[in-house]
A and B are shown apart, each in its own frame.
Chain A
Amino acid sequence: IILTQSPASLAVSLGERATFDCKSSQSLLFDLNNKNYLAWYQQKPGQPPKLLISWASVRESGVPDRFTGSGSGTDFTLTISSLQDEDVAVYYCQQYLITAAVTFGGGTKVEL
């Protein structure tokens, strides 16, 4: 499964909204449980990735509510409602529908 993220980079002003996309080459919606097998991670320079969202829209504990995941099937979006300094990072989507072939998108770099 190929995940294509767009744009590759994005410049946003403090307090403004940031929106970026992840498109899958095949549906990530599993019929049996009606769940989308997509996660979002944030990675800052020199650090490992941090899980933000799983199941396309379920925010992890401690993640600020300005982060929102949406979408279903093949098209997904991560929105930061009001960009803060600490949100400057690279964001990756990841599919886990196929345990034997996990894949990540190419990333979106968010800058001020």
Chain B
Amino acid sequence: EVQLVDSGGGSVQPGESLRLTCTASGLMLTDYWMSWVRQAPGKGLEWVANIKQDGSEKFYVDSVKGRFTIARDNAKNSVYLQMNNLKVEDTAVYYCARAMVRGILWQIFDHWGQGTLVAVSS
């Protein structure tokens, strides 16, 4: 089955850290840009970060710069999101998403993980 599997979410207190993992089965991530997109409860979609095929370029939404780090391990066909100094407003379902076109930077997301919930509260 072709799928992305998101994991690593949980309930934490403000200031704590979590590491999310996105692993693919039945499809390759190696040659594709990858992103994390989040959705706060009852809200819309917000792009969080993306990473180039070889990891040489990474971009972030302003609200997470300096706190979140996106990384990838192509040998493991996986992408990660290290989230430090979490805030209440980071509470959301986090999805990983693959860009549609191999080797191209167009951020059209044709494959999505099922999402993993991150809940930050005191």
For B78, what are the chain A residues with a Cβ–Cβ distance below 8 Å?
A: none
Residues of A within 8 A of B (CB): 37, 39, 41, 43, 48-51, 54, 60, 90, 92, 94, 96, 99-107
For A49, what are the chain B residues with a Cβ–Cβ distance below 8 Å?
A: 37, 45, 95, 109, 112
For A60, what are the chain B residues with a Cβ–Cβ distance below 8 Å?
A: 110
Does B84 count as interface, using CB distance less than 8 angstroms? Answer: no
- A-contacting residues, B63-122, CB 8 Å: 95, 97, 100, 105-110, 112-115
- The CA-CA distance from A48 to B106 in the complex, in Å, is 20
- The CA-CA distance from A94 to B44 in the complex, in Å, is 11
Q: Is the CB of B44 within 8 A of A105?
A: yes
- The CA-CA distance from A43 to B35 in the complex, in Å, is 18
Q: Is the CB of B108 within 8 A of A39?
A: yes
Central interface residue in B33, B61, B113, by most chain A CB within 10 Å = B61
